[in-house]
Chain A
Amino acid sequence: MKIFLPIAIVVAALAAVPLFVHSNVVLNFLVVTLLIALAGQGWNILGGYGGQYSFGQAAFFGTGAYVTAIIQVHYGVNAWIGFAAGIAAGAAVGAFIGALAFRAALRSSYFALVTLAFAEVLRILASVAPITGAGVGLLVKLDLRAQAFQFQSRAVFYLVVLALLAVSLVIAQLLERSRFGVWLIAVRENEDAAMALGVDAFAVKLAAMVLSAAITAAAGCFYVQYFLFIDSGIAYGTWISIEALLTPIIGGVGTVFGALVGALVVKSLGEGVKLLTGDVPGLDLMIYGAVLVLVIGFAPRGLVGAFTDARAHLARRFKTSAPVGEVARG
């Protein structure tokens, strides 16, 4: 169980935050940050470990969000069931897109484009279909009870999203130690070589895509319960596709904590800029774009990667044993 120790420490530290912080503004910031980290962790499973860069995580986020909302608003079903259904629906969309894209052996630019196109098609359909509230969007009825998956206090919402994130961290850690994870990394490093060694690349990528979609969909489901509103621009907009990919890449692609570190850094930067300059439209996103380019240019393995490199470098410098078991990543 030693491998889960870092996760336990990080989650415990984050769980302690509401004991000291009571400001709704700060808690709201943390909820949104962890929500983005969760969506980013979904991207990280497929993109980071599997090397398949999706530019349309919005397809899963939005499906999770809409299914959670529609099931409550139109059918009066309990929010928790809606939540589970949202995740299942997001996973199903992932399976559908993945089966088509990987069956056609789409890679790199082509995979990026086809995921982007599916997210756009869903956005346009959601902006005209009556069941999604078309251009108006859907409002979930306010009902601040735990059985309706709504809570009086932001701290509880925060702990819920933290729990979801903790599950996704454990999934990533298990992935790193499992046979499936090794296959997935092998496919990322060299798909043809992996196939020559008997790895079923199609099945491995498809399974990773379903898992990835389910995690990002969970973020969408949570979004609806927290904000109680969804429309096509939020659900299937490019903003979430970009943030879901930005956070793990900045934090550390294909690492357990990459998405969380990336989300904390990116969101803090964004809020910091807003505090300094007032709410000027565009400035925070401008900085996200610049940070993305800089990180890829100077720390292609993200902040976590740069940190492990620095630690290994220092360890060598002082002639102590370098950390063993670091998997080299290209």
Chain B
Amino acid sequence: MMHPCDLPLRVADVLSPIILVTAVINGLMTGAVYALVALGLTLIYGVLHIINFAHGALLSAALFAAFFAYQKLGLDPYLAIVLIAPGFFALGYALQRFVIGPASHGDDRNMLLVTLGLAVLIENALLYAFHADTRTVDLAYGFKSLDLGFTFIAVPRVISFAAVFIVALVLWLVMALTDTGKAIRAVAKEKLGAELAGIDVAHIYAMTFGIGTACVAIAACLLIPTYYANPRAGNAFVLVAFTIVVLGGMGSVPGALIGGLVIGVVESLAGFYFGESLGQVGIFLIFIVVLLVRPRGLFGASA
């Protein structure tokens, strides 16, 4: 295998605006899905104040769900969202309400460890049940692409790009208008005060965890037409999502969206110029620098 950096790139190629614009568009498409995964993570952080280490394993599980919905039930991945998203919402709700909440005794560090334990448990349960094989779906539109005149983009990626913004809009409306949304925001701001005002905090924590898990489920349905299911498939996304959440500010929803798009573009350009492995190092370096220099992120409130 050759790295792109080993190829004899001419200066004219590197600076060619068409290649640059294509890389940016591809980055934006990938970045939108990153943003959706990060959205779930940042929401959970904003309310529960923990990083959910089980996020990646839940994404892998959702990828399997989307794969089997297509293979066994013949459900188109985009239609399967109406089944898988509520299912994963319920799963997330139950995990927080009956496992993570009671097991962590209200201690942040314990909560981190319980989500880590769940991550190990889920990932290896998937490995045990489905082995390490990589599974893909064959859809009629999987390889269709849009002709922009100067470049092509895959249709499923355009659909997922649009879908992410719809999900973000719906989420914003839920947060702004519904009672549950208001309760979630109240708990995020002032847990004790919300509790005194009669809000059931354990229920709100579980609702938040459920919504975060549903985001991951939708991301999986959007990914499966061009990606694959595998017990570790989710991990790559979640390490990137950690970066996005830190970059955008832990708990910040607009931060997750913008951070997702920025990281998508950075990865695409860095991968193009330095090769895939080193492109990833670039993401982690951004991550470490932001953590050390501005841990509340670009859009976050005070840490």
- CB neighbours of A291 from chain B (8 A): 117
**A127 and B277 contacting across the interface, CB-CB below 8 Å:** yes
**B127 and A281 contacting across the interface, CB-CB below 8 Å:** yes
**A53 and B287 contacting across the interface, CB-CB below 8 Å:** no
- CB neighbours of A124 from chain B (8 A): 277-278, 280-281, 284
Say yes or no for B184: interface residue by CB 8 A criterion: no
Known A104-B293, A120-B239, A283-B128: A109·B113 in contact at CB below 8 Å: no
Selected from B121, B123, B131, B291, the residue in CB contact (under 8 A) with A110 is B291
- CB neighbours of A290 from chain B (8 A): 117, 121
Selected from B105, B123, B242, B292, the residue in CB contact (under 8 A) with A104 is B292
A249 to B116 CA separation, bound complex (whole angstroms)? 12
Selected from A104, A108, A118, the residue in CB contact (under 8 A) with B109 is A108
**B114 and A281 contacting across the interface, CB-CB below 8 Å:** no
Known A53-B112, A292-B113: A121·B291 in contact at CB below 8 Å: no
A245 to B117 CA separation, bound complex (whole angstroms)? 11
Surface stretch bound by B, among A2-10, A156-164, A293-301: A293-301
**A113 and B246 contacting across the interface, CB-CB below 8 Å:** yes
> Residue-by-residue, is B110-149 near A (CB-CB < 8 Å gives 1, otherwise 0)?
1011101111111111111001100000000000000000
Say yes or no for B199: interface residue by CB 8 A criterion: no
**A286 and B121 contacting across the interface, CB-CB below 8 Å:** yes
The smallest C-beta distance from B215 to any residue of chain A, in angstroms, reads 19
Say yes or no for A282: interface residue by CB 8 A criterion: yes
Say yes or no for A128: interface residue by CB 8 A criterion: yes
A296 to B100 CA separation, bound complex (whole angstroms)? 10
**B277 and A109 contacting across the interface, CB-CB below 8 Å:** no
Say yes or no for B103: interface residue by CB 8 A criterion: yes
> Residue-by-residue, is A288-324 near B (CB-CB < 8 Å gives 1, otherwise 0)?
1111111011001000000000000000000000000
A: interface residue count bin: 35 or more
**A281 and B102 contacting across the interface, CB-CB below 8 Å:** no
- CB neighbours of A282 from chain B (8 A): 123-128, 231
Using a CB-CB cutoff of 8 Å, which residues 106-129 of chain A contact chain B?
Answer: 106, 108-110, 112-114, 116-118, 120-121, 124-125, 127-128
Say yes or no for B104: interface residue by CB 8 A criterion: yes
Say yes or no for B49: interface residue by CB 8 A criterion: yes
- CB neighbours of A280 from chain B (8 A): 128
Say yes or no for A51: interface residue by CB 8 A criterion: yes
A19 to B247 CA separation, bound complex (whole angstroms)? 57
Say yes or no for B67: interface residue by CB 8 A criterion: no
Selected from A101, A109, A118, A296, the residue in CB contact (under 8 A) with B104 is A296
A113 to B99 CA separation, bound complex (whole angstroms)? 23
Known A109-B49, A120-B239: A293·B114 in contact at CB below 8 Å: yes
Using a CB-CB cutoff of 8 Å, which residues 52-82 of chain B contact chain A?
Answer: 53
**B103 and A297 contacting across the interface, CB-CB below 8 Å:** yes
Known A113-B242, A297-B103: A125·B295 in contact at CB below 8 Å: no
The smallest C-beta distance from B13 to any residue of chain A, in angstroms, reads 23
The residues of B with any CB-CB pair to A shorter than 8 Å are 45, 49-51, 53, 99, 102-105, 107-110, 112-114, 116-128, 131-132, 231, 239, 242, 246, 250, 277-278, 280-281, 284-285, 287-288, 291-293, 295
10 closest A-B pairs by beta carbon, nearest first, are: A289-B121, A297-B103, A282-B127, A289-B120, A292-B117, A282-B128, A282-B124, A286-B124, A293-B117, A285-B124
Seed contacts A297-B99, A297-B114; 10 additional CB < 8 Å A-B pairs: A108-B50, A113-B242, A114-B291, A114-B292, A128-B278, A285-B120, A289-B122, A293-B114, A294-B103, A296-B103
13 pairs of residues in contact across A and B, judged by CB atoms under 8 Å: A109-B49, A114-B292, A117-B287, A120-B284, A124-B278, A282-B127, A283-B128, A286-B120, A286-B128, A290-B121, A292-B120, A293-B103, A296-B103
